């Protein structure tokens, strides 16, 4: 039973056992040499926490407010395409888990069921994430549907002008349902996305607007100039451009230009409570969980995702107490320092006790 899972190690083992090779590669793999994926993890490993002592940490508050919504922990559930290949309920399983636990999920354009069905499944706040798969009229209609369905914000993903060369998928010949549904040519419209089109989308929705896929200070500054409410630092978990930098390093430069001007989200390799503290100390307001979420769904759907979030909460609370803070608002850059990594980074390196057959190539 999912409530008996004590660690994410056990959940990942169940996820691998429940998944076909193709789905496992889709969830866990990345682009080409998977260098960007490894750098995401390596950057986290190359930062150490600086604990303070003799502080009263009997009462610890792990909550955080994001876009006016109270979160039980500072973790959003990142948008994932083709969720129906991971768990039968698809996006509804994520929505129900987010509502039960007390967080916010982002719903991908390219997952199932429809955005309306996912919206109707629960009453908690949800954010709709957009990929461009049609012309301006198609996008306008999509935004109208999301607004009319009660989504709390719009998120535009901008790091996907081309589909990353994910060689694990190429080797097996597996194509996610989103590509089969829309076809290869639909992505050409995404490649034509500009700041001007983004402005039009932001105005059309009339909702808080998140820009996902920001990877430089220059673009973060432009986003602020264009009225973006939330800057989402992400390299798509290393699944798009190979040989990019790790997102914790990107976060540092984005924070310099955006802190206090927009809310800041970061994802990429964040799978531990200590990872969350490091990201918030550097300057993120919240983090987003991608693969972590997918592994839990593959292991046991909604119930196991709730359990995985409980495990993350326990890790965050424990790390806060041992770092000497009782509120996340106390975190600042003084709580982290650069350090030497002790292990080789790869997609599962944060879980050293996995069976060898699941750890795979390192």
pTM above 0.85, yes or no: yes
User: Average pLDDT of 299-318?
Assistant: 98
Task: Determine the pLDDT at residue 359.
Answer: 84
pLDDT-derived band at 362, boundaries 50, 70, 90? low
Q: Helix, strand or coil for residue 233?
A: strand
pLDDT at 1 over 60: no
User: Average pLDDT of 241-268?
Assistant: 98
143 or 176, higher pLDDT = 143
pLDDT at 8 over 70: yes
pLDDT at 251 over 90: yes
Task: Determine the pLDDT at residue 187.
Answer: 74
| pLDDT cut 70: percent of the chain above it | 98
Hey, where are the domains in the chain? 2-348
Q: Which two tokens stand for residue 248?
A: 């914790």
Beta bridge partners of 342: none
pLDDT at 114 over 80: yes
User: Average pLDDT of 293-303?
Assistant: 98
Task: Determine the pLDDT at residue 184.
Answer: 64
Tens digits of residue pLDDT in 194-203? 999 999 999 9
pLDDT at 224 over 90: yes
Are the C-beta atoms of residues 31 and 164 closer than 8 Å to each other? Answer: yes
| Count of alpha carbons within 13 angstroms of residue 66, beta-carbon side | 35
For residue 29, give the nearest of 176, 216, 247 by alpha carbon. Answer: 176
Are the C-beta atoms of residues 279 and 266 closer than 8 Å to each other? Answer: yes
* Number of C-beta neighbours around residue 196 at 10 A: 9
Torsion of CA 124, 125, 130, 136, to 10 degrees: 110
Residue 329's contacts (CB-CB under 8 Å, 6 or more residues apart) are none
Task: Determine the pLDDT at residue 181.
Answer: 77
Owner of token pair 């009782």? 326
pLDDT at 248 over 60: yes
In the chain, count H helices and then E strands.
15, 12
Mean pLDDT of the chain: 96
pLDDT-derived band at 277, boundaries 50, 70, 90? very high
What is the CATH number assigned to the segment(s) 2-348? 3.20.20.70
Tens digits of residue pLDDT in 41-83? 999 999 999 999 999 999 999 999 999 999 999 999 999 999 9
User: Average pLDDT of 24-45?
Assistant: 97
Which residues are designated catalytic? Answer: 236
Handedness of CA 19, 23, 27, 31 (dihedral sign): positive
């Amino acid at each position: 039973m999912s409530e008996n899972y004590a660690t994410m190690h056990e959940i990942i083992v169940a996820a691998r056992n429940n998944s076909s090779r193709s789905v496992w590669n889709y969830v866990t793999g990345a682009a080409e040499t998977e260098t960007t994926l490894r750098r995401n993890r390596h950057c986290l490993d190359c930062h150490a926490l600086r604990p303070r002592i003799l502080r009263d940490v009997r009462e610890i508050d792990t909550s955080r407010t994001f876009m006016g919504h109270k979160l039980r922990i500072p973790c959003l559930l990142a948008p994932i395409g083709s969720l129906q290949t991971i768990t039968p309920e698809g996006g509804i399983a994520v929505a129900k888990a987010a509502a039960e636990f007390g967080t916010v999920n982002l719903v991908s354009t390219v997952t199932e069921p429809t955005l309306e069905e996912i919206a109707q499944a629960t009453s908690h706040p949800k954010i709709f994430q957009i990929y461009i798969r049609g012309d301006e009229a198609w996008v306008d209609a999509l935004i109208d549907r999301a607004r009319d369905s009660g989504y709390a914000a719009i998120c535009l993903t901008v790091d996907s002008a081309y589909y990353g060369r994910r060689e694990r998928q190429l080797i097996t010949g597996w194509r996610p349902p989103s590509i089969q549904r829309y076809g290869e040519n639909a992505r050409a419209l995404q490649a034509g996305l500009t700041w001007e089109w983004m402005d039009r989308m932001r105005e059309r929705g009339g909702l808080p607007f998140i820009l996902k896929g920001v990877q430089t200070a220059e673009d973060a500054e432009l986003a602020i100039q264009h009225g973006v409410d939330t800057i989402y630092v992400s390299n798509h978990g290393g699944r798009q451009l190979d040989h990019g930098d790790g997102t914790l390093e990107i976060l540092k430069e984005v924070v310099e230009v955006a802190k206090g001007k927009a809310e800041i989200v970061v994802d990429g390799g964040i799978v531990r409570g200590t990872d969350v503290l490091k990201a918030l100390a550097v300057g993120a307001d919240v983090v987003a969980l991608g693969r972590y979420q997918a592994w839990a769904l593959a292991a046991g759907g909604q119930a196991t995702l709730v359990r995985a979030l409980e495990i993350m909460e326990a890790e965050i609370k424990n790390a806060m107490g041992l770092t000497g803070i009782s509120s996340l608002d106390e975190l600042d850059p003084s709580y982290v320092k650069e350090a030497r990594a002790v292990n080789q980074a790869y997609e599962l390196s944060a879980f050293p006790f996995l069976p060898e057959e699941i750890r795979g190539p390192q």
